Amino acid sequence: MQQQGKVNQDQPIKIKFGMWEAKSDIEFWTEKVKEYSIIKPNVTVEVETIPDNSGQYLKVRLAANDLPDIFYLKPADLITYKAALLPLDGLTAAIKNKYPAKLDNSILGLPLVSFSEYVYYHPSIFQEVGVEIPQTKDEFMDVMMKIKSHGKYIPIAIGGKDSWTFYPFTEFGPPLLAGNENYLSFIAEQERPFGKDSPFEQSAMMIKKMAEHELAGPDALNIGFDQAKQLFQTNKAAMLALGQWYLRDHLSKTNSDKDLDAFSLPWRQSTSESLQAITMPDQYMAINKNSKNTEEVKAFLEWVFSPDVYQVYINYSQNSSTLINIESILPFFKKVQEEHPFEPFMYLGIDEKFEKVKNAVQFDEKKAAQEIFSGAKVSDIQQKLNQDWERAVQALK
């Protein structure tokens, strides 16, 4: 009888590779894994669609001990799943990865991509309205107001029906405003981090003003992400705040970047401060430690990160490489960096104590933004958050 984890070259083996839809990843890997079966005829890799990237679907699978053999995880979810993950220490893919996720002294996840955050915009609309790329937070609001006053375009498209679309503002705004790449670990130690003039309040007030002035259109809460993209892609909206990963989607729908440019959302108060953009690893590859074929799954992971395979993928996805020996070819973003330079603000998004506090108070920065956009008072949300946060922090001491 074959022991768990051992490779048998003759026995048919099926590996389930779970992923959410990200930049047509499902389409890419469904085709690419066929090459693996040519190398190893006894191995079939089945690409399995995970219907969300928030972890809810996989949590059900975790409870049923039915996780895929190998799958994508968001950075924060590594903490939730760590007891079910196989250590990857010693693998070539782990040694060559710039951002391996180390939890409890073991590498449990390897990010497939890294990317920076941008505000995509149509230069033709900026020119028509007569606005320039904003250099400060106040200028960004001013540009949106001028586009709104022009009357022809929605200043910025947001699919507010999907709460996650607020992430560039209430998730990524606070660490940039705080100027602290370890922002999560910092507020995990603070008993009341959501007070007056806090980074959270500043980002929340931006959302509040955008809602009050309908800067994302009159119907932002009733449209989802796909509809927001369509507004931008058909030049009905001037801007769209999303990560580097969005470019692949845009090109697949419009077949051109002729009237497309991007800049870093300027969270700074003054041009005397450095201009930074969130830059983070994502799509952490993790292996189910209860897989019946862990050695074969590790071999497949090594293949995914092998130069010939990974180079094709990272160029296709237009994300940045996470490997020390592979550079991605990104002509669009190279031009953006040359014309609108910014400094990377490395944000790993992983802190175990923060996740414990966050889960205890059921805090979701994206849903909080959605509530604010719906009319909730920022002060009310802050007051409740501070009360709940203080109790949770004290309980964990």
Interatomic CA distance for residues 150 and 129, integer angstroms: 6
> Does 3 have pLDDT greater than 90?
no
Coil/strand/helix, residue 345? strand
**CB of 172 closer than 8 Å to CB of 347:** yes
Q: What is the DSSP string of 85-138?
A: BPP-TT-HHHHTBSS-EEETTEEEEEEEEEEEEEEEE-HHHHHHHT-----SHH
Residue 10 CA: distances (Å) to CA of 14, 41, 205, 213, 291: 13, 9, 62, 65, 18
pLDDT at position 121, please?
98
Count the neighbouring beta carbons within 10 Å of the beta carbon of residue 278.
25
Q: Is the pLDDT of residue 219 over 60?
A: yes
Residue type, 332: F
**pLDDT reading at 2 higher than 80:** no
In this predicted structure, the answer to whether residue 111 has a pLDDT above a threshold of 60 is yes
Q: Report the pLDDT value the prediction gives residue 349, as an integer from 0 to 100.
A: 85
State both tokens at 128. Answer: 């028509």
The whole-angstrom separation of Cα 158 and Cα 166 is 7
Tokens representing residue 264 in the block: 């870093």
Paired tokens of 111: 């990010």
pLDDT at 5 over 50: no
pLDDT value at residue 11? 85
Instruction: Report the percent of the chain where pLDDT is more than 90.
Output: 86
pLDDT in tens, 246-303: 998 999 899 999 999 999 999 999 999 999 999 999 999 999 999 999 999 999 999 9
The answer to whether residue 1 scores a pLDDT higher than 50 is no
pLDDT digits (tens, 9 = 90+) for 223-262: 999 999 999 999 999 999 999 999 989 998 999 999 999 9
Percent above pLDDT 70 for the chain: 96
pLDDT of amino acid 54? 66
The predicted pLDDT at position 59 comes to 82
pLDDT band at residue 34 under the 50/70/90 scheme:
very high
In angstroms, rounded to a whole number, what is the distance separating the alpha carbons of residues 362 and 387?
13
Give residue-wise pLDDT tens across range 132-182: 999 999 999 999 999 999 999 999 999 999 999 999 999 999 999 999 999
Higher-pLDDT residue of 4 and 84 is: 84
Q: How far apart are CA 338 and CA 342, in angstroms?
A: 9
According to the model, what pLDDT value does residue 350 have? 86
Whether 75 contacts 284, CB under 8 Å: yes
Phi (first) and psi of residue 282, to 5 degrees: -155, 175
Average pLDDT along the chain: 93
Q: Would the pLDDT of 7 be above 70? A: no
Of 24-28, 142-146, 194-198, the range with the lowest mean pLDDT is 24-28
The larger pLDDT score, comparing residue 397 to residue 304, is at 304
Give the ranges where 318-364 is alpha helix by DSSP (H): 331-339, 352-361
DSSP conformational letter for 83: G
Least confident of 71-85, 119-133, 261-275: 71-85
315 token code pair: 């160029």
The 10s digit of each residue's pLDDT in 181-191 is 999 999 999 99
Average pLDDT (64-68) is 88
Global pTM reads 0.89
Task: Output the six-digit token pair for 384.
Answer: 């409740």
Cα 115 to Cα 113: distance, rounded to the nearest angstrom = 7
Instruction: Check: CB of residue 37 under 8 Å from CB of residue 31.
Output: no
Which pLDDT score, from 0 to 100, does residue 9 have?
A: 59
For residue 371, pLDDT beyond 60: yes
Q: What are the angstrom distances between the C-alpha of 52 and each of 60, 72, 349, 362?
A: 12, 11, 18, 19
